[in-house]
Every structure is written in structure tokens, then in C-alpha cells.
Structure 1
Amino acid sequence: MKRSVVLFAAVVLLFLISCKHDELSQTDKILHNLIPDKTRYILPDEKNLAEIPQFPVNPLTPEKVELGKKIFFDPIFANEAKRYDMKYTYTCSTCHVVESGFRAGRMQGIADGGYGFGNKGEARIKYPYYANDSIDAQGARPLAQLNVAYVENTFWSGAFGSEGKNSGLDHIFGVHIPLTEVNKLGLPALESQNIEGLGVHRQQFSKKIVEDAGYKELFDKALPDLPEEERYTRKGASFAISAFLRQLLTTQAPFQLWLKGDEDAMTDQQKKGAALFFGKAGCTGCHYEKNLGSMKFEALGVDDLYEHGGLNTGPNDARNLGRAFFTNRPEDKFKFRTPQLYNMGDSGPYFHGGSIETLEGVIKYFNTGKKQNQRVPDSQLSSFIRPLGLTDEEVADLTEFVKNGLRDPNLKRYKPDSVPSGLCFPNNDPSSKVDMGCN
């Protein structure tokens, strides 16, 4: 009798497991049907440089990537700060913090003129001895520097790069945005933006500076094809930084592992959220490229940065116009580039103006389909701003997919243990050093 009871219990358990397996398999089946071609979204291995999108003018090499990483994190090149005591205190990674998904850990990035770090950049504030108009602060919520190898034209406005959406727009290079004069060099977007960005962010390069910083041999090994008159300049530094950025790929995210065949990489809730993303919610109307972003410019009707505490910006800031900031075309007003979505849960707030605090809030915004910014005319508003009809459970499922299904948990693999200067990083001001426990 006892043996029969045990046997019956085992059969019931197997039945329950089988039912659960069938339920999970059904969720997987739906998702597989929605994404029949997995290769469309699989990112290449970051170590396989040959498979990463790049350009003949700046081919990826291990030496170049390594140099770019060092420059990105080393405060030694923060040599043009407005105040002497703020020299060598900030880096590229001040506003693109690893722990915050390579975005600023707060609503606005502050390089020169800021101090403090917190745990992941959230505690950085304006240095009291700087006027608001003298700090180096971004006029929009900083975009993540992840998966940018799949971005044809950088900035929220898509202003940099001579190809892609900017092909045929040579006549406005340098006109409405003086910094875009660099597009006339015919370089890719990343390389162009970083040449100008190093200047904007008060970092200077020369042969003497590079030698004094102990970087000359690194530059020589990484950039042998650049003539010496260009190698130790912002152009050379930009080529190295751009190479580093191109291989910042979120290959360890659960969704990436699922795409590559690991059926258990995502939870059932994440799979349900993915099915909504690629199905009912219509997210792929804009987020359809390999990095789940695109070069589509849409007016989503959200607030601007100045309305949420942004410094060195205001209602007349031309950057609030989005694509029209670059093109000056009325039809481009308030339209911003579609960002990639990996590791977005690592740091809020969201949209170009940092106007919504949480990812759940973003999804609820789209689900409601009602504009936030009354200055954006309905005639300009994206057709995607309409009620989606998602239930509370579906909102939770979609949030879980974007927040954790698309989260690479090991971005620290892209962060060096130290930099050649020996300085603290990503920030080197006294307050940040205390926050980071760096002496």
C-alpha cells in the first residue's frame, strides 16, 4: 500500500512538472514565432573585433581598444578645466558611468564644474565656485555608450556623421551647430563626435601632453597608421575612444543568451514581456535594430531638461528642438533619435529631458498615449503616442523584460582596474575620492 502511495505521488509530481513545462514551452513558442530570425538581434562577441561594425578609416585593433579604454577612464587628460583646482578631476566616464549603464548616474552629466560621485554617479552636483553657465553640463539626458556600433548618426539630434541620415546634408554642416563642421572631414559619426567632444569637455592632447602622461608608446602602438602630426591630437584620441566604444556590447544580457539558444536564460515573466515588446505593445515600430534602437526620429511629447532641474539650459535652448536643432527644418521639430534599450534599468530618469523617473513610468506613458509637453503641437506628435491597451500585468511584464531581460549584469568587464596616471577614476575630486574609497 505504501509503495502504491509513493508511486501515485511520483506520477502526480511528474504531471505537475509536465504541465509547468508545457506552459513555459507555450510562452517560448509564442516568442519564437514573433522572432523567427534570431540573428537579426544577436550582437557579436565583443572580443571578435572583426565582426563589429567599423569603418576602413578606423579599423578596430586590440591595441586601439585598450588605449581608448585608458583615455576614457583616466583623469590625466582633464587639463583644460576652468579652475586650476578642478584639473585632472573628471573623465569621459564621469558622465558615462559603468554602474549606471554607461550613462550619467543622475538626470544630467556634469564633468568640469561638478564634484562628488555617490555609489554610481547619482551624487554628483555643481561645484559652488562655478557659475551655472561655466560648468560642462550636457543639455539633455546623456545617452548610453552601449551598442553604439549600430548608431549611424550620434546625439539625440543625429547631428554627427556625414553618412546615414546626414547623407546629402553637407550644406548645413557647421551652420546651425558649429561643432558639426567636423562632419566635413567625412569621418564616421563616433569619430566625428569624439573629436569635438574632447574639446567641449575640456580635454587637450598634444605630443608633449601625451609624453608627459606616459601614453606616447601606447599611442604609437595603437595608431601607427596615423601620421605623427595627427596621432597625438584629439583626432588620434578620438579614434582610440571610438574603437573602445564600438566594442561595448551587452552580449551577456538574458535576451541575448536566449537568442543564442539558452531557453532558460530569461524568466517566464521576461519572456511574456518580450512577447509584448515584439507583439502587442508595438515597441519594434521604433526599436527594431540589432541594439533595439534605430535612426528613427519621433516627437514623443515629453518635457525638456530645464523643466526638471537641468543646469546651463532653458526654454530657449535650441537642443530642445531635437532633430531640428541640426537641420532647422520645421518638420523635424521636437523629434529625437530612438535610443538603444540595453541596461536602461541601471539608471533613470528617462527621455531626453529626464522627465520620467522609472522604466515602469516610461511604459505607462506610452500605454496612456497622452503627451506631457504641451508645447509640442499635436501635428508633430508621433503616431506611436496612442493608448496601447496594456493591462497592469502586461505593463509589469514588459517592464521586467526591458529592465532585467535586457540587462547585461557584467558591464564591469569593460572597466580597467587602474589607469596609467594612477589617479582615481571615474572622478578624481576630493569628494568623489571619499565616496569611492580611493586615496
Structure 2
Amino acid sequence: MNIESLRILILLSSLLLISCGGASTSVADSNPNGVSPSTTPEPNNSAESQDSTEEPTADSEAAELQLLQEQFRLAIIASSEGRGLEAYILPDSDDYNRIPQDPSNPITAEKVLLGQMLFHDTAFSIAGRAGNEYSGTWSCATCHNSQAGFKPGVPQGIGEGGQGYGANGALRTLLSQFDPLASSEAADFPDIQPIAVPSVLNSGYQNVKLWDGELGNPIGGSVNSTVGDEQLLTADTLRAENSRFLAGLETQAVAGIPFHRMVMEQSTLESTPGYAEFWPSAFGANSLDYRQDAALAIAAFERTLLANEAPFQRWLRGERDQLNTEEIHGGILFFGKAGCTNCHQGPALSSDVFATEAELFFNIGFADFNLNDPRIHGTNDAKSLGRGGFTQDSAYHYHFKIPQLYNLNDAPFYGHGSSFRSIRDVLVYKNVAIPQNFAAAGNLSEDFVPLGLTEEEIDALTSFLTNALRDPNLARYEPRDVPSGSCVTVDPLTVESDWRCEHLSN
């Protein structure tokens, strides 16, 4: 018998002893009048004796909880491939040595601070199609805001062409002056995303980015190493930036600056108040490529966006009072019967840093954007084929990159097509395992099978995903102001009363 089995046996024995009210009394002790054990006792017809149901004692409840905690711990260890609880612990956001990073972009405090400002500053959105009227009305954080778990608060992200914001971006809408069906080169074509915007929370744990993994080509990287140059380095697309041989976050940032109609070149960075002071400390006196360095700072900041204050993270660090009984039951299911860790691994519950292509992309039949939804604009395109649409490998048609699982409920849109509105709906879908998108049914991933969960188990798993994995303090990553003096994150045309713009009216 191994040590862990012995621990469980001892706990079970303790629980049995407590629930029986103690079994250590002798026959003599239990028969103080010397009545033989074989003697039939006088019947006791009192109400107390008629009620055979005993209320659980505090000791028995504590022992039961302790046993449940131990079952949870062992389930986590069993799924960790020998690495123990540490396999799922997120580092502190300033523990740079433990945060996954691109060797070409070592994380420093100076880069992180600069990146935080660039990420949230609307001053750089000056390359819009519609002229100066809408300049300065979006930033990286418009579609990756802390209140929405670093996703948009709407099913489809909108940069230029959007207005409004709300508490978590949920009030952002498309301006009528923009035409989502116009040519992508037209002046009135908005910056709308053709697929749901993934969260950048805990995003450093995957080396390629976007749902199809098309961005990211680090030296020594394996995921895109077999993709032909025609697909990997396609001219006049985001993929052309893969020629820089950077990891996914860095490539996404450098490609995203012009794609999202922002300018971060020497002239703008030197002329924008405040940034002349930040730049030398992060990159030295000179820079050969200001846009790339701005992107490296943004990526360094993004790598520190970690949900390390979530109750589950605190539980892993020893704070055993952080989860309630239902959440623990849900956690046991997550790491056990429900098979969630067949796909969701590592500290981000996405995938391990060195995951292979087969471990990163799965086809579980999710639908594309619902074009009948008034909040969805444009058309579905080649992105609908997922990984296979990028690599031209039909075996990966409808395979999409596995997402991280923290703070999911902060923006209730799930899947590459925002086709679900609640965590529980996703779980019910996976429990039944009938694809939404029947076009994807031909090569579903082998793990997409019915789970056999009861309604009660689905409730418990929902509780674990909703509450145990929610960091309540992501606002710590959002600055109160930015060096340019512009609005932080949001659209100044419609939210002057928001604290992010309130200084403009003072």
C-alpha cells in the first residue's frame, strides 16, 4: 500500500469512528449494570429513541470535509503527470523567472510598466479609416479589458467603428456610419473581428496565438515548424510578421498594432507626453524598430496577466478554506470523471508551454458566429475552418486552439463563435456530445464523447469553473491614468462620466 492510499484509509477510519459516536468503549463500559450482552434490553418507547436519525456533529462534518479535501488533492496529483500540485500553480506576476517568456524578449519591470501604458492608452489609435473624428477612441484594452476577463464584453470585438463601453465593455456597439459588409479596404469598413476575441489572461502558457495558432514562430518552436512558408509567412497578412521569429504573444502584438489601426512609431512615441521617460529605461537610448519594441513591451505586460488570486490558486497554495463543498466536488469531477484535463492542462488550464499541435487544437463541434445575432456583423470566412484553414491540412479542419479557463464568467460568451452564453450550457453540450456545427462532425476529436454526468454533477462542475477559477481582482492590472493624459481603455465620445475619462472634464 502506498503513502497516499494509507492517508485515505486513515481518514476514512477517522470518519467512521466519529460518525459512529466512537467505537472504543468496551462491553462492560456499555453495560454498567452488568447485563449480559445476550440479555434482551427493556424496550424504550421514548420519542428520542424512536428518532433514529442523528444530526451530524461538527467533528463529523469537519472529518468529511477533510476527506473531501484529500480526495481533491489526490485527483489533482493524479492528473499532473507526476508533477504534483505545482503543475497547476500560477506564479506571482512579478516573479519573472517563473513566467513563461520568449528568450528574445526577457521580461523586465521596465518593459512591463511601459507595456501596461501602451496597452491601455487610446492616444495611439490614430490610423483609422474614417479620419480624425474617431481617433483616440480605442486601445488594446478595448477588446481585452480586465472587467471582462481580458476579453471583450460583447460577442464580437470592435475597435474603430465602435462606440460606448459600459462596466465591462458590454455596451460597445457598431456606429451606423460603418459598413461591416463593405470591402475590407474601404474607408467605412470597421475594425471588427471575424471570430471571437480570445482572452489574454494567462496567455503566456501557449506559444502560438489566435484560434488557429497562425501567429508565433519562435526559434526552436515546434507547433508551426512544419507549416509551409506559403501559409506561415503569407504576404500582406498578419502572418508576415512570423518572419521575426518571435513567440506568439510577441508576434500578435507587433502584427496587431497596424492591423488595429494604431501607430507606435518613433515619431508618435517621442511626441506623446510621458513616453520619452519610459522608453530609455525599457530599451535603452536607441531603438532600431520602435514598433517591434512597443510590441515587446506590450507582450511582456500581457505575460504578467495572471489569475493568481483566484480561490483555486489560493487553495493550491495551502489556503484550504477558499473553496466550499460544492466547488470541491466540482474540482474532483474536473480532475477526474469529467475528463477535463484530457485537454485543459498546466497552470492556465489551457495547455502546457511545450504542448504539441495535437495537444493544442481540438474539434468539439462548436458553431461559428450566428449572423442573425444583431451584435454580430460581417460574414464568416476561412477562419471557420480553424487550424486546417491556416495549415491547409484537412485533418485539422474545425480544430481550434484550447482556451484558458479562468474568469470565464466575466464575459458570458464562449467558443470561437461566441455560440454559448453560460458555462453551464457549455457543460451540458459537452455532456451530450452532439456537435453544434454539423459540418465539423466528420473529424471530431476523440475526447468529444458523452461524459455521463448527472445534473447535480454538472451543477458542481459549473460552480468550480465559475467561482473557484475567478480572480476577483483583475482590476489591479489596469492603470488609473496613462502618460498621454488620454482616456484609459475607453471611448471618450460616450463615456465622459467614466473614471477612465473623468480627468478630461476637470
TM-score bracket, shorter-length normalisation: over 0.9
For 1:344, the equivalent position in structure 2 comes to 408
Cα distance in 1 for partners of 2:222, 2:236 equals 18
Work out whether residues 156 and 336 of structure 1, in 8 Å CA contact, stay in contact via their aligned partners in 2.
yes
Q: Deviations over 1:5-55 (max 9, x none)?
A: xxxxxxxx9971111111211211211111221000011111111221112
SS of residue matched to 2:328: helix
Task: Deviation per CA, 1:161-188: give whole Å up to 9, x if none.
Answer: 1123112325232239832121122111
CA distance in 1, matches of 2:228, 2:304: 29
| 1:95-130 Cα deviation digits (max 9, x unpaired) | 011101000001011011000112210110001111
Residues 418/89 of structure 1: CA separation in 2 closer, same or farther (3 Å cut): same
Distance 1:38 1:14 in 2: 35
Q: Does 1:169 align with 2:201?
A: no
CA distance in 1, matches of 2:206, 2:475: 22
What's the counterpart of residue 224 of structure 1? 284
Please give the alpha-carbon distance, in whole angstroms, between the structure 1 residues aligned to 2:68 and 2:344.
22
Contact map agreement 1:77 1:203 (CA 8 A) in 2: yes
In the alignment, the residues of structure 1 paired with residue 385 and residue 489 of structure 2 have an alpha-carbon distance, to the nearest angstrom, of 31
SS at match of 1:379: helix
Report runs of 4+ in structure 1 exceeding 6 Å deviation. Answer: none
User: Is 1:28 equivalent to 2:69 in the alignment?
Assistant: yes
Which aligned pairs between 1:92-171 and structure 2 lie closer than 5 A?
A: 92-132=140-180, 133=182, 134-162=189-217, 163-171=221-229
| CA distance in structure 2 between the aligned counterparts of 1:109 and 1:28, rounded to whole angstroms | 40
User: 1:142-291 residue pairs with structure 2 within 5 A?
Assistant: 142-162=197-217, 163-171=221-229, 172-175=231-234, 178-214=237-273, 215-224=275-284, 227-230=286-289, 233-291=290-348
Are 1:17 and 2:52 an aligned pair?
A: no
One-letter code aligned to 2:211: W
Could you tell me how far apart the structure 2 residues matched to 1:205 and 1:39 are? 39
CA distance in 1, matches of 2:369, 2:55: 56
Please identify, of 146-155 and 382-391, the stretch whose mean Cα deviation from structure 2 is larger.
382-391
- RMSD (Å), alpha carbons: 1.9
Paired residues of 2:165 and 2:491 also in contact (CA < 8 A): no
The answer (yes or no) to whether the contact 1:223–1:236 under 8 Å persists in 2 is yes
Deviates more, 1:305-314 or 1:409-418: 305-314
Task: Work out the CA distance in 2 between the residues paired with 1:222 and 1:176.
Answer: 31
- Counterparts of 2:372 and 2:399, CA distance in 1: 19
What residue in structure 2 maps to residue 41 of structure 1? 88
Greater RCO, CA 8 A, separation 6+ = 1
The DSSP-based 3-state class of the residue aligned with 1:210 is helix
Indicate if the aligned counterparts of 1:207 and 1:216 stay in contact, CA closer than 8 A. Answer: no
**Structure 2: which amino acid aligns with 1:19?**
S
> C-alpha deviations, 1:331-383, integer Å up to 9, x for none?
1111000000011111111000001110111111101111111222x321122
Q: Deviations over 1:258-289 (max 9, x none)?
A: 11111111111111100000001000111012
Quick check: 1:78 aligned with 2:125? yes
Q: Report the secondary structure of 2:238's partner residue.
A: helix
Shift of 1:298: 1.0
Evaluate the alpha carbon distance shift between residue 97 and residue 308 of structure 1 in structure 2; reply closer, same or farther with a 3 A threshold: farther
Cα distance in 2 for residues equivalent to 1:195 and 1:77: 14
After superposition, where does 1:238-387 map in structure 2 within 5 Å?
A: 238-294=295-351, 295-307=359-371, 309=373, 311-315=376-380, 317-376=381-440, 378-387=441-450
Partner of 1:7: none
Q: Residues 287 and 293 of structure 2 are in contact (CA less than 8 Å); yes or no, is this contact kept in structure 1?
A: no
Which segment drifts farther, 27-36 or 116-125? 27-36
Q: Is the 8 A contact 1:308 1:355 kept in 2?
A: no
Look up the match of 2:138. Answer: 90
Provide the secondary structure at the position in 2 that maps to 1:164.
coil
After superposition, give the CA deviation of every residue in 1:362-407 in whole Å (9 maximum; x if it has no partner): 111101111111222x321122322211111111100010011000
Cα deviation, 1:69-92, whole Å, max 9, x if unaligned, reads: 000000010011122211011100
Partner residue of 2:451? 388
Length, aligned pairs only: 422
CA distance in 1, matches of 2:55, 2:377: 64
Does the CA-based 8 Å contact 1:176-1:328 persist in structure 2?
Answer: no
Q: Name 2:28's counterpart in structure 1.
A: none
Contact kept, 8 Å, 1:112 with 1:135, in 2: the verdict is yes
In structure 2, the residue matched to 1:423 is 486
